[in-house]
Amino acid sequence: MVTDHRTSWVRKLGDGAGSVFVKVYEYESWAQIIRTLGRRTAPWQTSRPAREFDALEWLSSRGLPAAEPLAVFEWRRLGFLRTALLVTRAYPGDPADQLLPTLDQATRRAAAAAIGRFVARLHALGFRDGNLDLRNLLLQRNEDAWTATKIDSPRHRLVRPGPPTDRAARADWSRLLPHLESLQVADAARAAGATLSPSPATPGPQV
């Protein structure tokens, strides 16, 4: 798996059970750093890779499926982030945005339901992702059971566990459901999520 963006890239090293993913953020010039201050490059901000590492540790500590975070490194100049690196053990799953379109409708609905249950469980435990796109969800199938997990969560925040009726929880669903709607499985995810929490479409008090 290889991904390249303007200020970040991902490489997979190894093959099989021992594989790891290395994600690197690079800000090579001061102009680039200034343009990306909203991406947590300032001295007073925790870097995106460190935030992603913390999110994966949080998932694992709650018994949720997650890629294992192995290491995070940062190189700064005058406190400003120049390079950061995140290493995670490869998770045995496939990106949902690539996998779902290849499935027949019944199987796709089952996989979408697993996503709905996963998101509802995240929310009930107090996790608000802020970056809930299909490309950042991984799906794994064991016999007839699907499991979902989340990667790339630098915008996450934690709130008190309980009914997820706040604005951030609704924003997560509002970001995710249109992707699933295009595949005609949003209702399956919504219904599965509602079995664990109030309906994702139900308004609640804002925080």
Question: In the predicted model, what is the mean pLDDT of residues 150-176?
Answer: 94
pLDDT band at 126 (very low <50, low <70, confident <90, very high): very high
Residue 110 has pLDDT above 50, yes or no: yes
What is the strand order of the sheet 94-95 is part of?
A: 94-95, 137-142, 145-150
- Buried b / exposed e over 125-163, threshold 16 CB at 10 Å, is bbbbbebbebebbbbbbeeeebbbbbbbbbbbeeeeeee
3-state secondary structure of 20: strand
Domains and CATH numbers, the chain: 2-89 (3.30.200), 94-194 (1.10.510.10)
Number of H helices, E strands in the chain: 6, 10
Q: Which residue has the higher pLDDT, 62 or 203?
A: 62
Q: What integer pLDDT is reported at residue 146 of this predicted model?
A: 96
Tell me the per-residue pLDDT of 21-53, one tens digit each, with 9 for 90 and over.
999 988 776 666 666 655 667 778 888 899 999
